[in-house]
Structure 1
Amino acid sequence: MTNSVVLVLINLMALPFYLRFLGMEAYGLIGFYATLQTILQVLDLGLAPTVSREIAHNAELGQQRRSASLLRTLGRVYLGVAVAIAALVALASSWIATHWLHAQTLPDATVAQAIALMGINLACRWPISLYHNALVGSHRLALSSAVSMTVNINAAITSVLVLAYGVRSIQVFFIVQACFGLLHAGVLRVVARRIVGERDAPADMSELRRVWGFSAWMGGIALTALCLTQIDKIVLSKVVPLGSFGQYMLAALVVSGVQVLAGPAFNTMYPKFSALLARGDMPSLRHLYASATRLYATALLALVFGLVFHAGALVMLWLDSAAIAATVAPIIAGLAIGSGLNSLMYFPYALQLASGQPRLAFTIGIALLALTLPLTVLLAIRFGALGGAIAWASVNVAYVLLGTWLTGRHVQDFAGWAWLRRDVAIPLLATLLPALLGAWICRTLAAGPWVAVGIGGIAAVAGMALGVAASFERREFRQLIAMALGRPAASP
């Protein structure tokens, strides 16, 4: 989780400098790069999460050499895909600059050059997910996080210094980022191969064929997840001016703080669920699923409600612009609600994959996609950037209801409706009540931004304390923390 906190803080601290040195339209290009990066993840075909699952399983069965052979094989596959990505984006750069994005101050040639550099940047970073997931499967998430923090801190500092004292152009920004992306991938490759061991294991395409069935379903899931999470950005990049799209991406950056909890929770629980299922230890799985959800939901929802009720004050303190704060605050609230609901479903999703049922996750994604596309287009046309946020929140309400029902019916009964009533409802009420009280106090006192943020912080802490007190006995809470730190999971 420390890695996620640091990465979010880096982006939040660097953004005012990027706006100052590059402008809102150039930041819109940075936002488009983030969208493009997510879109191209579909080319992973589900191989990265498959590696995590395979390494966790093989470690339990004492088959580390098989893991090493799979990692070496996929390393070659990822290298070929990286080259293809750079070529594909370079070929499409002129068309995207002139026919898709709506730049009003940046020349088309500058936009096209920036997009071509995006392709190089993406290629340099492409293998990172493979080696990161190898370390996740080896229960070395902390090591991968340390590498990520070190590289990304230096990348942000270097980018700001180059823009401040060198050439202030979006092209230079992407060149610097590409160099650090290549460094990140190289370091993770060395570390992952050393941890997995058996570095003399040969590349073997039979290993790829062996995991292809699971990976193919994971690729389908990645495609549907891509559409679900990026439709708002794709539609808005076409419908609204580049400056307005930059504001939407600014709001998305603020809400990315939700991933401080969501990403690490999934990376921690997924291999643990896989290991417990491999051992057939169902009592420990049931206990871990329920207790970890309560702790996770308490922290997650406290953060979400803080963003919903105090987004304007946060942006005002951050960027010192009342106009930007007024514009992006409603967008942040909608995105925060949607992202909070989506993040709650990381636990059912991890259980589906650990149980070897990726088809269920794919089916849920297809059903949601049928709702997402028309809803996003209609609301974006009607309300602009705010419409994208409303669509994201609405779709994730449906996701919680549908996903929970199907997980309880087809995977494990303890993950169904009872999970929402028992393990989600209590943290929801415990964090919502202090948040509502804090918002009422701010409105009554007409509090300034500093006071509002302070009250919001106190409300969030109070909500977390209330949620933990209502959900756990002291012994159970200590046991859960021990599990999160990597100690053996025990039955209640």
Structure 2
Amino acid sequence: MKKNIIANIVGKGWSLISNFVFIPLYIYFLGIQSYSIISFTLIIVGLMAMLDAGMTATLSREFAIKTNSKKDLVKILSTLETCYFFIAIIIIGLIYSFAGVIAKNMLNDTKYSNIELIFYLRIIGIGVAFQMLAQFYMGGLLGLEKQVKANFYQILWSIARNALVIIPIYYFRSLSAFFLWQISCTIIYAVTLRMVLIRNISRDLPFFIKPRIDNKVIKRVWKFAAGMLLISLVASVNTQLDKLTISKVLPIDQLGYYTIAMTLTYILMTLINPVDIAIRPRFTALFSENKLQDVLLLYNKLILFISIVIFSIAAILFFNSKEIILIWMRKESIVDKSYMYVPVLTLGMCALTSNLLPFNICLSLGKTKLNNIVGIFSLFLTIPGYWIFTRKYGALGAAVTWTTVQIIITPIYFYYVNKFYIKDKHGFKTFLQKIIYPGLVAFGLGFIFSRIPFSKSIVLVIFQLAFSAFIILFILLKCFLAKADISGYLGLFKFQKK
């Protein structure tokens, strides 16, 4: 599994680098309002994810179960893929039909005409459908623990889609060129992933598998898929409602500034995603083989590992947001309108990353009830919260609402997963020792380092920030890991080698 995690690190590392390199170029060539339109398309992608109906998670889980034969995998893929084709058609139809309503009511104060916005939204609908198909096939590869291949193709797609798009927008300086290029790359990506997935099931399978729905497959997976449908629905609303409210209540350029801050704090999620992606099929496999002690051992080690890594970086983001965005964007006007969101969103992202392992435990067991209860509970806070506080305090009100909800649900979520699913008798103590205490130490150190004056040289500022993060990481390792454990963490997954 270490090989898979390394592959995921490379894949997510490229994603992180591409954001830092190319977003400033998009803004430079197209302007902040155009980038805000691009940001709004991410909201559409997030909202349409609810129509996934749990198919991707179901495919990944079924492909990770060791007792399924190749014949079973073909039936599962054929059945779920047939359903997904209908989903893709629905996505294109919905966005095409409601493009006019969305353009009129959600995109405020743009330099584009209503006709142009409708055109952009309709071509985006095609891209969203194929992007979701690609994620569906990616779920199959991840379930088979083929992270190396999955990340290889994802990096190629990202290079073509996010990096090479600089060529058409350099010459044409238009959103049409931007979206048409990205959609073309996504269609090719989806077709390629399907070919790779089929070949990894069996080299004898033809590319064109006859669409069919196997009732036995539906009967076996429908409960998990239904639970995941509700999770997807709630998660889509929860993750996009802040940005949706901003686009509705405030001028569209405010969404661009907010997205810049959110993208920066998403570094924390990117750091943990490689482990998150690799661990879910591993948990599923261990549960299917009834290796509960291995699950508990891996779970407890990873909680501390995630906390140490996340809080080391979060402390730097929290206290140095202005300097970091200035290094990134190189424009004071952008810094002044976006840096204030970063400390607030950083705290929320710390809470969110702390929930990843408990979330994966639930899905690996096929349990979706807790995820849905927590998600629905959070909606009762976010729906009125975003509307009230965004209207009163602007985008900062949306950031505070999102972070507050994440902080409230984290200990609740952690407690129930520890008590009922992994039977950890020391759940509260574990939460304090492996999440709260490392966080307090990291932020205390981050405050101390932030008091050191910065040089006027950008290179020296980058070095100072990186050095501060390294020292915080080193101190956390020394404080919370015994010497024997540090070397053990380097071989964290050796005991699970196949």
Instruction: Please give the range of the TM-score, normalised by the shorter of the 2 chains.
Output: over 0.9
In the alignment, which residue of structure 1 is the partner of 2:398? 388
**Secondary structure at 1:177 match in 2:** helix
Alpha-carbon distance in structure 2 between the residues aligned to 1:475 and 1:56: 33
**CA deviation after TM superposition for structure 1 residue 479, in Å:** 4.2
Q: Which residue of 2 aligns with 1:438?
A: 449
Residue equivalent to 1:362: 372
For residue 454 of structure 1, the aligned residue among 463, 468, 490 is 463
Distance 1:62 1:242, change over 3 A: closer
State the shift of 1:292 in Å: 1.2
CA distance in 1, matches of 2:492, 2:230: 31
Deviation track 1:62-97 (CA, whole Å, cap 9, x = no partner) reads: 523212221122222222222221221111112211
Identity %: 21
* 1:179 pairs with 2:188: no
Matched, 1:49 2:60: no
Q: Distance in 2 between matches of 1:426 and 1:489?
A: 29
2-side partners of 1:11 and 1:330: how far apart?
Answer: 20
- How many angstroms does 1:389 deviate by? 1.0
In the TM superposition, what is the alpha-carbon distance from 1:425 to its structure 2 partner? Answer: 3.0
Shift of 1:187: 1.4
Question: Are positions 1:293 and 2:284 aligned together?
Answer: no
Which residue of structure 1 aligns with residue 496 of structure 2?
489
The letter of the residue matching 1:421 is L
Match of 2:42 in 1: 34
- What is residue 189 of structure 1 aligned with on the other side? 194
Is the counterpart of residue 2 in structure 1 residue 19 in structure 2? no
Matched, 1:155 2:161: yes
> Partner of 1:465 in structure 2?
474
Show the 5 A alignment for 1:58-97. 60-97=66-103
SS in structure 1 at match of 2:496:
coil
Q: Which residue of 2 is the match for residue 19 of structure 1?
A: 27
Instruction: Confirm or deny: 8 A CA contact 2:80 2:213 kept in the other structure.
Output: no
The structural deviation recorded for 1:440 is 1.7
Give the Cα separation in 1 of the matches to 2:307 and 2:189: 32
**1-side partners of 2:492 and 2:417: how far apart?**
23
Per-residue deviation, 1:322: 1.6
Cα deviation for residue 474 of structure 1 reads 5.0
Aligned to 1:441, what secondary structure does the other structure show?
Answer: coil
Note closer, same or farther for the CA distance 1:30–1:405 as it changes in structure 2 (3 Å cut): same
Post-superposition shift, 1:220?
0.5
Report deviation, 1:290.
0.9
**What one-letter code is carried by the residue in structure 2 that aligns with 1:424?**
I
Check whether the contact 1:435–1:456 (CA below 8 A) recurs between aligned residues. no
Counterparts in 2 of 1:453 and 1:378: CA distance versus 1, 3 Å: farther
Deviations 1:325-370 (A, max 9, x none): 1221111221121112111100111111112221111111111111
User: Residues 89-488 of structure 1 correspond to what in structure 2 (within 5 A)?
Assistant: 89-165=95-171, 167-197=172-202, 199=205, 203-206=212-215, 207-414=217-424, 416-442=427-453, 451-473=460-482, 475-484=484-493, 487-488=494-495
- Distance (whole Å) between structure 1 residues aligned to residue 127 and residue 363 of structure 2: 30
Unaligned stretches of 5+ in structure 1?
A: none
Change (3 A) 1:124 1:282: closer
Q: What secondary structure, in the 3-state scheme, does the structure 1 residue paired with 2:491 have?
A: helix
Q: Which moved more, 1:427-436 or 1:1-10?
A: 427-436
The AA in structure 2 aligned to 1:176 is: W
Residues 128, 211 of structure 1: alpha-carbon distance in 2 compared, 3 angstrom cutoff: same
CA distance in 1, matches of 2:271, 2:199: 28
Report the CA distance between 1:153 and its aligned residue. 0.9
Q: Please, which moves more after superposition, 96-105 or 236-245?
A: 96-105
1:1-44: per-residue Cα shift (whole Å, max 9, x none)?
Answer: 22111112112211122112211111111001011101000001
Q: TM-score, normalised by structure 1?
A: 0.93
Q: Contact 1:426 / 1:467 at 8 angstroms: preserved in 2?
A: no
Structure 1: distance between partners of 2:131 and 2:360: 25
TM-score of the superposed pair, with normalisation by structure 2: 0.92
- Deviation string, structure 1 residues 202-223 (Cα, Å, up to 9, x no partner): 7442213320111100111111
